[in-house]
Amino acid sequence: MSDTDPVLELVDLTKRFGRQTAVQGVSLSVGRGEVYGFLGPNGAGKSTTIRMLLRLIRPSGGQARLWGQDVAAHPGQLARVGSLVDGGTLYPFLTARQNLAVLGAVIGRRDPARADALLDQVGLGGAMDKRVKSFSTGMKQRLGVAAALLNDPELVILDEPSNGLDVSGIGEMRALIRRLARDEGRTVFLCSHLLHEVEQVCDRVAIVSKGAMVREASMADLLERQDGVRVEADPPETALSILSRRWPARRDGAALVVEARRADAPAIVAALVEGGVQVFHIAVERRSLEDAYLSITEGAGA
């Protein structure tokens, strides 16, 4: 296994519940040290996909591979994975410390010092000995993250890690995800509906809709594809005619909006000048992941 081989691969992963197909042929791969975003509307099949990967549910078809090995045949590979599913599922009658002790026993790694350090790290240092049933949603979420990191995982799977967190908590979570990947070299598979969060921390993203993958791309590529170039030129009708031959373009008031990348800006100007059009202003409009996500999922009929 080399460093360039994928940590996680999903190959044509499918799940059917009776006649209903929840996940249809999802394939993706995540490289070592990547922060990979897994996006999609509610009910798109994100959680089902994660649960198949964690052996919580059985795939109807396809494979989930970790470090090149099929998880169904080699479940021991999950010892190298930490996961936060369903907002931190924990024993409500136990304290935070006791919860980590129980999990530590299951994974064969009872290390109270590490557990305490993790609780400190996620901001629960002052609530270690409080029962989880008295925790707020955000505190449970933080404890879930500590539980996910208890086995010092190489791959961290986080399903909506910011659910229930306040603004500062969301910021801390973002910083933690960055630290896990950039400083500690872990691979992070992040499922989140907070597109701003995903945009800031992920290297690549996959977008699923109605159980199927509709786009997988690097964040830079995804955003660049969504760039628009705004042009003010005279006469605008002639400019629109020239530009429409090479790029999708439309009128937006007195200006034109061309669906092109930033790198296309010089060619746009050159085409207009060659066509005898006067160019007064040109600007690249950078769109957010949210714009990209909406156009992709709406295009997919989500």
Q: Shortest Cβ distance from residue 159 to other proteins (Å)?
A: 10
Q: What is the closest distance, in whole angstroms, from the C-beta atom of residue 193 to other proteins in the complex?
A: 19
How many other CB atoms are found less than 10 A from the CB of residue 200? 15
CA 67 to chain centre: 20
**Distance set, CA 123 to CA 80, 194, 202 (Å):** 24, 21, 23
Q: Which part of the chain contacts other proteins (CB under 8 A), choosing from 38-46, 73-81, 248-256, 279-287?
A: 73-81
Q: Is the peptide bond before 248 cis (omega within 30 degrees of 0)?
A: no
Binding of other proteins by 69 (CB under 8 A) = no
Partnered with residue 70 across adjacent β-strands are 65
Which of 21, 31, 54, 240 contacts other proteins by CB under 8 A?
Answer: 54
Please name which of 271, 299, 297, 224 lies closest in space to residue 256, comparing C-alpha atoms: 271
Annotate each residue in 167-196 with x if it binds other proteins (CB under 8 A) or - if it does not, as one string: ------------------------------
* Cβ nearer to other proteins, comparing 16 with 225: 16
CA-to-CA distance for 127 and 148, rounded, in angstroms?
18
With beta carbons less than 8 A apart as the criterion, state whether 234 and 242 touch.
no
**Least distance to other proteins, CB of residue 157, Å:** 9
User: DSSP for 24-47?
Assistant: EEEEEEE-TT-EEEEE--TTSSHH
- Interface with other proteins, residue 128, by CB under 8 A: no
Residue 281 CB burial class (10 angstroms; 0-12, 13-18, ≥19):
exposed
Work out whether 105 is an interface residue with other proteins (CB under 8 A): yes
CB of 285 to other proteins, least distance (A): 42
Q: Is 98 in the site for other proteins (CB under 8 A)?
A: yes
* Minimum distance from residue 83 beta carbon to other proteins (Å): 6
Question: Which of 75, 125, 185, 276 is the binder for other proteins (CB under 8 A)?
Answer: 75
Does residue 18 touch other proteins according to CB under 8 A?
A: no
- SS3 helix, strand, coil % of the chain, rounded to 5? 40, 30, 30
Binding of residue 61 to other proteins (CB under 8 A) = no
Specify the residue, 32 or 140, whose C-beta has the smaller distance to other proteins: 140
Q: Which residues bind other proteins (CB under 8 A)?
A: 48, 51, 54-58, 75, 78-79, 81, 83, 85-86, 89-94, 98, 101-103, 105-108, 110, 147, 151
